[in-house]
Chains A and B, each alone.
Chain A
Amino acid sequence: MNNFFDKRKVELDVFKQTVRNRKIIATKINIPDGLFMKCEICNEMVLQEDVEKNLEVCPNCNNHFRISARLRLKMMCDGEKFTELFTTIQTVNPLKFPDYLEKIQKYQTETKELDAFVAARGAIDGIEVAIGALDSYFMMGSMGSAVGEKVTRLIEYATKHRLPLIIFSASGGARMQEGIFSLMQMAKTAAALKYHSGARLLYISVLTNPTTGGVAASFASLGDINIAESGALIGFAGQRVIKQTINQELPKDFQTAEFQLAKGFVDLILSRKDLKPTISKLLQFHCKGVK
């Protein structure tokens, strides 16, 4: 009998694990006619139109679907308009890593972006901001030289023009194919933030699903205010690596937004619909007395 329960427990764990893992890569399955879609978390068929109106959040279970960087900026900026910056920065293959550029091309075709970060100047309820977003559809939003350079230029742009800075992170971390150059982007972006901060300017970091590795361990953790979007996975090391290292199961809500809030590393958790109004308020708090 004991044996039965043990076996059942293992099966349940496997099941839970599968469900949890699914959540990490939660995405929508499109039905060909484009009218309905299936939410991977609640398995309900929902109207595509309703999901769009609901800022790409499942109206049934509040699951936040992954969204592209460009859509993110549209959702945040007044009139869905922004002026894109540093649009010509392109990835090269510094280590001459086999098939790297082919892979980049494939993602460029799929996403119509040059790389995984979109930088812009826009306004949120009339307040001018430097704003950028990582695109998890582009090679898991990984940071190589091009992404690091664009993030750094956006930070420097914000410092130069005395603008508040908002960066939406969605990334698996540093990009392996550029090796040490990717690693150094962590130092580069973190360094640029020091000057932005030194100029007494506001930086709001929004950690969305997922924010891990070298991005979590650099600019994404360094906001004056760190906001986690609902459902975000946030952490340094990957769960598989940790499990292998400690050889035991991980706590239930490990590396969730709630976990990071409880441990003191994010200031608040917000649903997608609350992001713009709350960020707008925070911006206004920091605008008083500043021209």
Chain B
Amino acid sequence: MMNQSKYDMKAWDRVLLARHNKRPTATELIDFIFPDFIELHGDRLYGDDAALICGIATLNGQPVTIIAQEKGDCVHERIKRNFGMPHPEGYRKANRFMKQAEKFKRPVIFIIDTPGAYPGVGAEERGQASAIAVSMTEMMSTKTPMISVVLSEGGSGGALAIGVSDRVYMFENAIYSILSPEGFASILYKDSSLASKAADDMKLTAQDLYQYKIIDHIIIEDEHGLHCNYSLSFDYLKKQLSEDFAILSKLDENTLLQTRYNKYRNMGEFNE
């Protein structure tokens, strides 16, 4: 599956693949790996955010909770899904299903695919900052194994809000960053057309983040991108999830939480 030319790909080429309009979204991933998925709705506080799909399925016969950001695969769906940009109620819905999973000792799989948390008036009124902050602390203390998978785009706090897990995987051509390359270019180079340079400077590819130990696994893709053949990648993801959950399920709760804490505690580069 791998060949040399893939290593020569520029960060920007991967950005384009990550955003390719035929790239499978979370729904396709769920259909493929979890055909018995039942979707459940609502945050029980305000509403049901369509940018986040939650529900229960089985993985090798074991029940799991799935929490996935969904971008939509056609114009109509994309509008319905708000292009995968959750409002605060989305994160509160994710939290509700995570806590439900904890109660029933189900592992949780988070699928990250968002340009970012939605920047809008309603989102601010309902506390986007608070929703993201609370989601991260809650993830830190949830006593069940959790794995986050960056499928295509991991946009900033909107991605990290469901990205504080025991393991983090990234698809080979996915990107994960503090801001979109366009936003980054417009802030730091005062020119959003320099997005491709920004993509290079930001170090947002799976390969970079694996090197930095921000992620734990890269899910390989077809050499022309996930949209050309996803079955091999999804099979590989399923195998990896099964293996890691088998390991994580053996840990007692305290070790699980302490290890998760240490993982994030050690992130950051500084001198002293």
User: Beta-carbon contacts of A227-248 to B below 8 Å, as 1s and 0s?
Assistant: 0000000111110011001100
Is A180's CB under 8 angstroms from B209's CB? yes
Query: Is B133 in contact with A148, judged by CB distance below 8 angstroms?
Result: no
Structural contact, B124 and A221, CB atoms closer than 8 A: no
What's the nearest-Cβ distance from chain A to residue B235, in Å? 28
CA distance A246 to B136 in the complex (A): 27
A149 to B201, CA, bound (A): 23
- B59 CB contacts on chain A under 8 angstroms: none
- Among the listed stretches A9-17, A33-41, A86-94, which one makes contact with chain B, having 4 or more residues with CB under 8 Å of it? A86-94
Do A95 and B202 have beta carbons less than 8 Å apart?
A: yes
Complex Cα distance, B267 from A212, in Å, reads: 22
- Chain A residues lying within 8 Å of B47, measured Cβ to Cβ, are none
Also in contact, A180 and B124, with CB within 8 A (given A186-B157, A236-B129):
no
- Find out whether the CB atom of A91 lies under 8 angstroms from the CB atom of B270: yes
* A-facing residues in B87-131 (Cβ within 8 Å): 117-121, 123-130
Which of chain A's residues have a CB closer than 8 A to the CB of B264?
184, 187-188, 191
A residues less than 8 Å from B212 (CB atoms): 94, 180-181
Given contacts A181-B212, A194-B141, A221-B134, contact A236 B119 (CB under 8 A): yes
Instruction: Give the docked Cα–Cα distance between A145 and B271 (Å).
Output: 10
A-contact 0/1 string along B122-155, CB 8 Å cutoff: 0111111110111011001100000000000000
Chain B 160-171 interface mask (CB, 8 Å, partner A; 1/0): 110110000000
Which of B129, B164, B261, B272 contacts A217 (CB under 8 A)? B129
- Contact between B271 and A90, CB atoms less than 8 A apart: yes
Task: Check if A152 is an interface residue, CB within 8 A of chain B.
Answer: yes
Q: How far is the CB of A102 from chain B (nearest CB, A)?
A: 14
List A contacts of B178 (CB < 8 A): 174, 176, 179-180, 182-183, 214
> Which residues of chain A are within 8 angstroms of B125 by Cβ–Cβ distance?
263
Determine chain A's interface SS by DSSP, over half rule. helix
Q: Which residues of A are found within 8 Å of B118, using beta-carbon distances?
A: 245
Does B265 lie at the interface of the complex (its beta carbon under 8 Å from any beta carbon of A)? yes
The reply to whether A191 and B136 form a contact with Cβ atoms under 8 Å apart is: yes
Pair A180/B177 contact, Cβ less than 8 Å: yes
Chain B residues in 8 Å Cβ range of A191: 136-137, 140, 164, 261, 264-265
B245 on interface, CB distance cutoff 8 Å:
no
Q: Is A208 an interface residue (CB 8 A)?
A: no
In Å, the complex CA distance between A212 and B13 comes to 32
Interface size class of B (residues with CB under 8 A): 35 or more
Number of interface residues of A (CB under 8 A): 63
Note all chain B residues with C-beta closer than 8 A to A251: 121
Chain B residues in 8 Å Cβ range of A254: 121, 124
State how many angstroms separate the Cβ of A223 from the closest Cβ of chain B: 10
Contact B121–A250 (Cβ < 8 Å): yes
| Least distance between A201 CB and chain B CB atoms (Å) | 14
Contact with A along B254-272 (1 / 0, CB 8 A): 0000000100110111111
Q: Is the CB of B201 within 8 A of A237?
A: no
Contacts of B204 in A (CB 8 A): 179-180
B179 at interface, CB cutoff 8 A: yes
* A219 interface residue per 8 A CB criterion: yes
> Which chain B residues lie closer than 8 Å to A235 at the CB level?
124, 128-129
**Bound Cα distance A112, B263 (Å):** 33
B133 near A190 with CB under 8 A, answer: yes
The residue in chain A whose Cβ has the minimal distance to the Cβ of B138 is: A194
The answer to the question of B203 belonging to the interface, with a C-beta cut-off of 8 Å to chain A, is yes
**A157 → chain B closest CB, angstroms:** 14
Q: CB distance A146 to B270 under 8 Å?
A: yes
Q: Nearest-CB distance from A76 to chain B (Å)?
A: 23
In the complex where A95-B202, A174-B178, A181-B268 touch, is A221 in contact with B130 (Cβ < 8 A)? yes
Taking CB atoms and an 8 Å cut-off, the chain A residues in 187-234 that contact chain B are 187-188, 190-195, 197-198, 212-214, 216-222, 234
Give bound CA distance, A187 to B162, whole Å. 10
A97 and B119 contacting across the interface, CB-CB below 8 Å: no
Q: State in angstroms the CA–CA spacing of A198 and B49 once bound together.
A: 30
A88 to B: closest C-beta gap in Å: 5
Q: Which residues of A contact B126 (CB under 8 A)?
A: 263
CB–CB B136/A241 < 8 A = no
Q: Choose from A98, A181, A246 the contact partner of B269 (Cβ within 8 Å).
A: A181
Assess the B132–A217 pair: CB atoms within 8 A.
yes
Most chain A beta carbons < 10 A, residue from B119, B187, B204: B119
CB <8 Å contact, B268 and A148: yes
| Subset of 11 A-B contacts with CB under 8 Å | A89-B272, A149-B270, A187-B164, A188-B264, A188-B268, A195-B261, A214-B157, A234-B129, A236-B132, A242-B124, A265-B129
Supply 9 further A-B pairs (C-beta < 8 A) apart from A180-B204, A217-B132: A92-B269, A184-B264, A190-B137, A191-B264, A213-B157, A214-B156, A235-B129, A237-B123, A241-B183
Q: Chain B residues in contact with chain A, CB under 8 A?
A: 117-121, 123-130, 132-134, 136-137, 140-141, 156-157, 160-161, 163-164, 176-179, 183-184, 187-188, 201-204, 209, 212, 214, 261, 264-265, 267-272
